[in-house]
Structure 1
Amino acid sequence: MTDEEFDLLDELYFVQSFDYLLEELGWSDELLLQTLHSLFQKAMIKCLASPDDELFGNVDILNEGKSMLFLATKKGLMAHNAI
C-alpha cells in the first residue's frame, strides 16, 4: 500500500465526497482520482452514487469520480489497520 492509499483510507471510515477528500488531503484532482481508482481496483473502497446507493461493475472513477461518494470496505479497513 502506498502512502497516498494509506492516507486516503484514513479518511474513508465514513462515507465521504470527492470534494471533502480534496479539501482534507490537499491533493490535486488527478492524484486523488488515481488513488481512488487504485483502491477501488484492489477492492479496498466502495463507490456510491448516494449514501445508500452503491455502484457496482465497471465504475469509471477517473472520469466520473468527482460526483461520487466513497467508503472503505472491510478489506480496506483491515489493510489500513494492519500497518
Structure 2
Amino acid sequence: MTDAEFDLLDELYFVQHFSYLKDALGWEDSQLLETLQSLYSSGLIKCLVGPDDERFDQVNISLEGKNLFYLATKKGLMAHNAL
C-alpha cells in the first residue's frame, strides 16, 4: 500500500464524499481519482451514490468519481490497521 492509499483510507472509516476528501487531503482531482481507483480495484473501498446507497455495479471512478461517496471495506480497514 502506498502512502497516498494509506492516507486516503485514513479518511474512509466513515462515509465521505469526493469533495470532502479533496478538501481534507488537499490533493488535485487527478491524484485523488487515481488513488480511489487503485483502492477500489483492490477491493479496499466501496462506492456509494448517497450516504446509505451502495453501488453494486462496476464503477468508472475517472468518469463518475467526483459525484460519489466512499467508504473503506472490511478488507480495507484490516489492511490499513495492519500497517
Of 50-59 and 66-75, deviating more is 50-59
Task: State the superposition RMSD in angstroms.
Answer: 0.5
Alignment of 1:1-83 (within 5 A): 1-83=1-83
For the residues of structure 1 that align with 2:23 and 2:81, how far apart are their CA atoms?
23
Q: Residue 76 of structure 2: SS of its match in structure 1?
A: helix
The AA in structure 2 aligned to 1:36 is L
- What amino acid sits opposite 1:10 in the alignment? D
Q: When the two structures are superposed, what TM-score results if normalisation uses the length of structure 2?
A: 0.98
Structure 1 unaligned segments of length 5 or more: list them.
none
Which consecutive aligned stretches of 4+ in structure 1 deviate over 6 angstroms post-superposition?
none
**What amino acid maps onto 1:76 in structure 2?**
G
1:65 partner SS = helix
Q: Distance in 2 between matches of 1:56 and 1:33?
A: 19
The unaligned stretches of length 5 or more in structure 2 are none
Q: In 2, distance between residues paired with 1:71 and 1:2?
A: 18
